[in-house]
Structure 1
Amino acid sequence: MNIQLSFDAVDPRRLADFWAYALHYRRDDPPDGFASWQDYLAAEGIPEDEWNSGDAIVPIGEEGPRIYFQRVPEEKTAKNRLHLDIVAAPGLRGEKHMAVLEARADELESRGAIRIKRFEPNESGQGWIVMEDPEGNEFCVI
């Protein structure tokens, strides 16, 4: 079964850039016969000021959902009911686990994410860091 996750966004291109980096994804390919999405949109007669109405990213060489970013006029106003977890340190526990999470959180901050809260390792040795993407969507680095 294939699924697509969709994000509402003020700036779809910016969020697609961020999440492609964060998830090790790539931009979705333009339709067959077009070298770029800009070529496709121009051929379809879409005005240039609407070219950032949507954007999509897909996994690089592995299974995973397509993620679509659609422009909406309003900014985010409430907590997400669903969020993504970035698994940064599979198999590690305790301080080694947290050191990898901290490094990944630093990388994501350099791309526009905001660190919200660090949760120390629990009895199973797992901790996590809650963050927000450039438009305020919460996610965890685990």
Structure 2
Amino acid sequence: MSLEIAREIQFTFDANDPGALATFWAEALGYQIQPPPAGFDSWEQALTAWGVPPERHNSASAVVDPKGAGPRLFFQQVPEGKSGKNRVHLDVRAAPGLSGDERMAALEAEAARLVTHGATRLERHEPKPPNAGHIVMADPEGNEFCLD
């Protein structure tokens, strides 16, 4: 008998500004910035105590699902910018259980909300059976994702 083990996963994003991108995705997903380790009141306090120079304090950030159900998103600073289309993207389920005009109206409302937080709307795909329609967006650093 084989024992199957489900693996915990995290999604890692290369970023120019990990703190800002983490803040965007926390807003988009209803996540929170990962709290600092026990014994520290802030990440700045922890990083300073560990000897990380102030200019490196924004080299990484992470967001977590406050309910503990979703995967962790980790943002790491890299020197280069985004150079092409994502090969993997997130689908943000913004209209579960809705269909037709009601679904697309909910997706439009979420797209408008995320634009106020730095997202860019790229294109709308109309519902065509068996697909339900979606909106393609980009986060503040150009990473594509779908409102589905």
For the criterion TM > 0.5, the same-fold answer is yes
- Structure 1 unaligned regions, length at least 5: none
TM-score, length of structure 2 as denominator length: 0.93
Cα offsets for 1:45-65 (capped at 9, x unmatched): 111011000000000114111
Preserved CA contact (<8 Å) 1:93 1:125: no
TM-score, length of structure 1 as denominator length: 0.97
**By how many angstroms is 1:125 displaced?**
6.2
User: Percent of pairs identical after alignment?
Assistant: 53
Which of residues 24, 32, 35 in structure 1 aligns to 2:38?
Answer: 32
Which of residues 3, 13, 32 in structure 1 aligns to 2:19?
Answer: 13
Query: Which 4+ residue blocks in structure 1 deviate beyond 3 angstroms?
Result: none
Distance 1:125 1:93, change over 3 A: farther
Name the CA distance, whole Å, in 1 between partners of 2:16 and 2:129: 40
Which of residues 95, 100, 109 in structure 1 aligns to 2:115?
Answer: 109
Partner of 1:46: 52
- Count of aligned residue pairs for this structure pair: 142
Preserved CA contact (<8 Å) 1:94 1:125: no
- Structure 2 unaligned regions, length at least 5: 1-6
Say which SS state the counterpart of residue 32 (structure 2) adopts.
strand
1:110-125 aligned within 5 A: 110-124=116-130
